[in-house]
Amino acid sequence: MAIQVRVLASSSSGNAYLVSDGRTPLLIECGLPFRDLRQRLGFGVTSLAGCLLSHEHADHARAARDVLRAGVDLYATQGTIDALELTGHRLRPIRAHERFRVGTWTIHPFDTRHDALEPVGFVLASGHARALYLTDTAYCPYRFAGLTHVLIEANWSRELLDRNVREGVIDETLAARIRRNHMSLERLLDMLRANDLSRVEAIWLLHLSDQNSDEEMFARRVREVTGRPVYVAAREVRGCAG
């Protein structure tokens, strides 16, 4: 079963990704104004089988209430639901390490390391396809078997972040928060080395920092380590993304 991935937005300003196995389209994150989200989905919000929400920060959850009002089931942990003060019959509370189904997908949420109440990542499985979605986490202690697609954060590199602190581009307080809450290129490479990527068809690098990353260098390093096709998710995608 082939998986299609469309990046709608990927940055600290907003994140949203459309993933489909050809039968069940899922939105992962809804961190854009609803008007923009609808446009980038081709005004097909009601065709979504659901929306997976990793945590409550606005760049991931900005349109959560509007998604619910549009009649789309929203899957999030109770911590995320409480943080956003969400209500409604379309809410679907989930727990880390408790699998659930949405249409033809089986979804396994797992805990992540971020400054949110109950953040999670997801493994989405359909047929022989298995997609990992992991962002806004300092690191990942888990290994994943049989992955075919990887959507993963590559927010900063040690070299660039340290240089920006030395040059006064960002202060040490912000740098410390970044180190505690977002995945660096170095940690990402270690994680990829620790996993069996033999079936992986493509890797998408998500949520790159404007100041502390380098798209070309990050993609090159990941290709060198994995030998797999690597795509950098555009920070801002105009219109309907492909």
Sequence spans of domains, the chain: 4-232
Tell me the mean pLDDT in the region 5-22. Answer: 93
Tell me the mean pLDDT in the region 96-120. Answer: 97
Tell me the mean pLDDT in the region 118-136. Answer: 97
Return the percentage of the chain with pLDDT > 70, whole number.
96
Q: Are 188 and 153 in contact (CB under 8 A)?
A: yes
Residue 241 has pLDDT above 70, yes or no: no
Neighbours of 114 (CB within 10 A): 22
**Ranges 139-143, 160-164, 238-242: which has the least confidence:** 238-242
Residue 219 has pLDDT above 80, yes or no: yes
Rounded Cα distance, 232 and 213, in Å: 11
Is the CATH code 3.60.15.10 the one for domain 4-232? yes
Under the banding of pLDDT at 50, 70 and 90, the label for residue 235 is low
Tell me the mean pLDDT in the region 111-115. Answer: 96
